[in-house]
């Protein structure tokens, strides 16, 4: 399967993540909500991990673990801040694009810093992302 398929599936899942956060936000403490999301990921992830363990396909290094712990910290904060924003009444039509679009812009900029090729289409896409997020944040 092509790698881009996994990216598309991740994008669909991220969009659904946003919707479920918006729906849950008024009904739960934001810290508890973030913990529940993380705990659910651990339980669900275990179903994927067990077959990998049986096949002996666990490749780990301390460097990878450090980066994933940092990603886990970020995941908790994403959940917490998204739930807090939606609980305070932020519409999903603004929050979703800001959270997802903003994360895309940050990923592109960091990708450039890490050595990804800087091309005109990427710069135009980055400017469009930043422009769209700004319009939503300021004028919507």
Q: What's the full length of the chain, in residues? A: 140
Confidence of residue 132 (pLDDT cuts 50, 70, 90): confident
Residue 1 pLDDT class (50, 70, 90 cuts): confident
At residue 13, the pLDDT reads 94
Could you tell me the CA-to-CA distances from 118 to 30, 107, 132 in Å, in that order? 38, 13, 21
Which pLDDT band holds residue 16 (cuts at 50, 70, 90)?
very high
Q: What is the mean pLDDT of residues 114-125?
A: 94
| Better-scored residue on pLDDT, 119 or 57 | 119
Tell me if 33 sits within 8 A of 25, measured CB to CB.
yes
* 3 state SS of 63: helix
Q: Which of 81, 76, 110 is nearest to 95 (CA)?
A: 81
Is residue 108 within 8 A of residue 122, CB to CB? The reply is yes
Confidence of residue 53 (pLDDT cuts 50, 70, 90): confident
Q: How far apart are CA 22 and CA 85, in angstroms?
A: 9
SS3 of 28, please? Answer: coil
């Amino acid at each position: 399967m092509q790698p881009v398929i996994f990216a598309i599936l991740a994008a669909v899942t991220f969009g659904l993540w946003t919707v479920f956060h918006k729906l849950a936000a008024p009904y739960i403490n934001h810290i508890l909500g973030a913990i529940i999301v993380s705990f659910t990921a651990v339980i669900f992830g275990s179903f994927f991990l067990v077959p990998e363990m049986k096949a002996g396909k666990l490749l780990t290094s301390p460097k990878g673990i450090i980066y994933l712990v940092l990603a886990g910290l970020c995941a908790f904060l994403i959940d917490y801040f998204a739930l807090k924003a939606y609980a305070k009444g932020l519409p999903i039509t603004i929050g979703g694009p800001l959270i997802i679009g903003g994360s895309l812009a940050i990923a592109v900029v960091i990708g450039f810093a890490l050595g990804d090729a800087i091309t005109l289409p990427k710069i135009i896409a980055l400017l469009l992302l930043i422009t769209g997020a700004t319009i939503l944040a300021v004028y919507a």
